[in-house]
Structure 1
Amino acid sequence: MKLLFVTWNGPDVTYIEGLFLPIFERLSKQYAVECHILQFTWGNEDYVSRVELACKDKSCYYEVIKVNRRFVPAALLKANLIDSKKVKKYIQKHGIDIVMPRATVAAAIVLKAIDGLHKVRLLFDADGLQQDERVDFSGWEPSGLQYRIYRDIEFKALRRSDGVLVRSNQAKLILASRAGALFNENIITVINNGRDKNLFAPKFDEALKKEIFNSSTEDFPVLVYAGSIGPQYCFDEMMYIFSKVHQLNSLTKFLILTGQPEIVEKNLEAYNTLRANCLVKKVAAEEVPIYLSIADIAFALRRPTFSMKAVAPIKLGEYLLCGVPVLATKGIGDTELYIQGVTCAHMLTDLETSHLDASVQWVYQTLSQDRRTVRDEARRIGERYFDLEKTVSQYMLAIQSLG
């Protein structure tokens, strides 16, 4: 069986290497699924070479179609009218059985490419509500032309699909309702963003902790955030909580792991009094677990908008697998199913000041408790819900259900 993953993205995200390649590697080794990746990207040669090398290491076929990001409408038109033919040729040349486009733009290209290829099955990785995220965070209007075009593509992809992948039960309900009459919601499979529990594991290193913070203090608390920077990720709210915790314990540090350090540094200009206690680092993917492991509390905050009902924050699983207690937000995908009523997590109902202040008290109390106990609980929950092997099994069940 041969599967082609089609995606459209830039160099500022690493989900091919970090999320999908470990899944594809195991699908190949455990279930003999030959995996191919066709990436539309505006990343430079260094970026492409890095991804190409990662794919080769995981025995995954990889090919790039370059996108001119300066003229996005023209690039999208070219992708649909011209590059879709390249996708079709790739499918025919390699004898692809299943095409899996990620999100709306890739779905539009694939729908054009598989027109007439009746034996090719479509496994649509809806991966959130892309157009609704742009309404929530990028200024799109729900009545605007762009939004309506994306919704039309989503509808057509759902109706043409043999299977659909989503990241939350709420996303399943939303897309089933959008797909219209007589749509079989049983073709939608909820997939979690699993991680390798052997890689993402508690790896506390006291020497590294002291080294990176240039500190000789034996025990100082560390808060951590790992991921992208943007309006949905609540940077100011994290800094508010950190500032309050720092007032309670002046030894507290804030470690920010991100692929966008320059943006973080600019945001930190508004927090001069705290800047000396914040460390911003860009580290290799394989180094992330050891950096997470030195932290005592992790931020998994997101702004609880409509589109966030359909996401599954990758970092939530990484934090828990590394044994780090988390501070999260309600209404984000299925987060509440995983960490409701547990000691190692606290969830904010919303981002009002009163709830931020309550989270500060939870952080301070958690830091005052036996950290081994809460770390062990976090690890157990991580293994239960975010083990990569479970995710791979979910993918394989979705693939087998295509018939």
Structure 2
Amino acid sequence: MLQRFPFIEKIILVTIERNADVNEDPLTQHLNKVVHMPLTPKSLAVNIATKISDFLLFPGQLIKFAQKYNTHVLLAHGAPAGALAYKVWKRSKLPFYVSSFEPHADYMLESKVWTRYSLKYRFQKYWEHLQKKNAAGIMPVAYRYKRALVGEGVAAEKIFVVPCSVDMDTFSFNERKRSDMRLQLAWQHAVIGVYAGKYGGLYYQEDAFAIYKQCFESIPDFRLIVLSPQPQEEILSLLQQHQIDTALVNVTSVPHQEVPQYLSAADFAFATYKPGPSKKYLSPVKIGEYWANGLPVLLTEGVGDDSDIIKNEGGGAIFNLREEGSVERALQQIQQILQDPNHRQEILKLAQKYRSPERIREAYEYFFGQKQEEQP
């Protein structure tokens, strides 16, 4: 996207590569403005020591890159990278911007990955505060978070909301692939639900499988596709623990480019996030991918802007495990949506409206263009 702007002369792409054997990214070979500069961290015995080493060494290296290429701005992707950008700014006063800015520390705390008194949580929370205070521009992924940031005193003109975008062409529904995949699975006439992602952390685990069990009990001819990087035996064990017939479930791990054919084969999708105060600031990529394929989404209440979008505009159903009968009502709503022969085309419109990459272009134009216009 940055490559396309005539006022951008050169882009220095800096990545942190834990694998010392870094091959040239084939994508950058076709981007004549991009220079890839990988950073390889020291591998220390203690993980936290490695992280501390990163934050001690990398800012100096980034400053050298900036000086070598006469860099005018620094764009960090995500709040963890934004911490490095802040440290560069503190030493060089190079203006920095943070895209995909989310309350990462709170996500990790609520998911019980970090504790409130852990060094990782306390450092990340502090760095997020400094980014809010000192960044030239912030690009959160949810309007709810923009309102929260303004409430904290961040100037509204420093904020441009950019929900996580999706390539509409890549994830579009394909009738032929749907037929082929359903034939391959021998599920030609089934109602298929699909889940793409992990279990645990940000996501439900035991409760997700309890929801699957409820689907098998309430939806005629229900089948399940699980696309997950987690070990297959772990997922099969969870299915068995919940007395789900594994013959009715396809568990696999596929490259990202193969995910769309599985989505096309499915009828609806699961986005079973754990609830929590910070979850309203999410913009899950998977929801955008589901919508781009025309799939209604069974989503936890209170997740990002998407929860309100579904309530107000459709595109799925919301559940809350603290409310008795919530999942049952949501599944009934999903089945009603599936009765509409045009539901996939209508749901695609939500992806086009809320998850278009065009929003990235608008944000970059707003912050980096010659003329800054008021954000819509």
- 2:343 corresponds to 1:374: yes
Shift of 1:116: 4.1
Q: Distance in 1 between matches of 2:45 and 2:326?
A: 42
Q: Distance in 2 between matches of 1:69 and 1:303?
A: 33
> What SS does the corresponding residue of 1:52 show, helix, strand or coil?
coil
What is the one-letter code of the residue matched to 1:340?
Answer: K
CA gap of 1:27–1:107, structure 2 versus 1, over 3 A, is: closer
Structure 2 match to 1:274: 245
Q: Distance in 2 between matches of 1:246 and 1:112?
A: 52
Structure 1 match to 2:76: 101
Matches within 5 A, 1:171-182: 171-178=145-152
- 2:215 corresponds to 1:245: yes
> What SS does the corresponding residue of 1:230 show, helix, strand or coil?
coil
Segment of structure 1 superposing worse, 153-162 or 96-105: 96-105
Shift of 1:261: 4.2
Segment of structure 1 superposing worse, 338-347 or 309-318: 338-347
Structure 2 match to 1:52: 25
CA gap of 1:56–1:281, structure 2 versus 1, over 3 A, is: farther
- 2:162 corresponds to 1:221: no
- 2:264 corresponds to 1:289: no
Is the 1:243–1:274 Cα contact (8 Å) retained in structure 2?
Answer: no
Is the 1:303–1:351 Cα contact (8 Å) retained in structure 2?
Answer: no
What is the one-letter code of the residue matched to 2:309?
Answer: Y
Structure 2 match to 1:345: 316
Shift of 1:37: 2.5
User: Structure 1 residue aligned with 2:355, among 372, 379, 386?
Assistant: 386
Q: Distance in 2 between matches of 1:333 and 1:273?
A: 31
Is the 1:329–1:347 Cα contact (8 Å) retained in structure 2?
Answer: yes
- 2:182 corresponds to 1:210: yes
Q: Distance in 2 between matches of 1:380 and 1:210?
A: 25
Structure 2 match to 1:169: 143
CA gap of 1:241–1:350, structure 2 versus 1, over 3 A, is: closer
Shift of 1:249: 4.4
CA gap of 1:341–1:154, structure 2 versus 1, over 3 A, is: closer
Structure 1 match to 2:64: 89
Q: Distance in 2 between matches of 1:312 and 1:323?
A: 18
Q: Distance in 1 between matches of 2:315 and 2:79?
A: 36
Q: Distance in 1 between matches of 2:83 and 2:223?
A: 45
> What SS does the corresponding residue of 2:15 show, helix, strand or coil?
strand
Is the 1:244–1:360 Cα contact (8 Å) retained in structure 2?
Answer: no
User: Structure 1 residue aligned with 2:50, among 34, 50, 75?
Assistant: 75
Q: Distance in 1 between matches of 2:271 and 2:44?
A: 30
Is the 2:178–2:264 Cα contact (8 Å) retained in structure 1?
Answer: no
Shift of 1:254: 0.9
What is the one-letter code of the residue matched to 1:244?
Answer: Q
1:357-382 deviation per Cα after TM superposition (whole angstroms, max 9, x unaligned): 22232234444x14x32112111222
Structure 2 match to 1:395: 364
Q: Distance in 2 between matches of 1:237 and 1:314?
A: 21
CA gap of 1:384–1:42, structure 2 versus 1, over 3 A, is: same
Structure 1 match to 2:297: 326
Q: Distance in 2 between matches of 1:194 and 1:88?
A: 30
What is the one-letter code of the residue matched to 2:181?
Answer: K
1:112-143 deviation per Cα after TM superposition (whole angstroms, max 9, x unaligned): 2233433x321023531111112101254445
Structure 2 match to 1:196: 167
Structure 2 match to 1:159: 133
- 2:104 corresponds to 1:130: yes
CA gap of 1:341–1:32, structure 2 versus 1, over 3 A, is: same
What is the one-letter code of the residue matched to 2:255?
Answer: A
> What SS does the corresponding residue of 1:190 show, helix, strand or coil?
coil
What is the one-letter code of the residue matched to 1:255?
Answer: I
Could you state the TM-score of these two structures normalised by the residue count of structure 2?
A: 0.86
What fraction of aligned residue pairs are identical, expressed as a percent? 21
What is the one-letter code of the residue matched to 1:275?
Answer: T
More helix by share: 1
Q: Distance in 1 between matches of 2:27 and 2:198?
A: 21
CA gap of 1:268–1:41, structure 2 versus 1, over 3 A, is: farther
Q: Distance in 1 between matches of 2:241 and 2:28?
A: 40
Q: Distance in 2 between matches of 1:388 and 1:200?
A: 13
Aligned length: 367
Q: Distance in 1 between matches of 2:55 and 2:75?
A: 16
Is the 2:76–2:97 Cα contact (8 Å) retained in structure 1?
Answer: yes
Shift of 1:384: 1.7
CA gap of 1:288–1:115, structure 2 versus 1, over 3 A, is: same
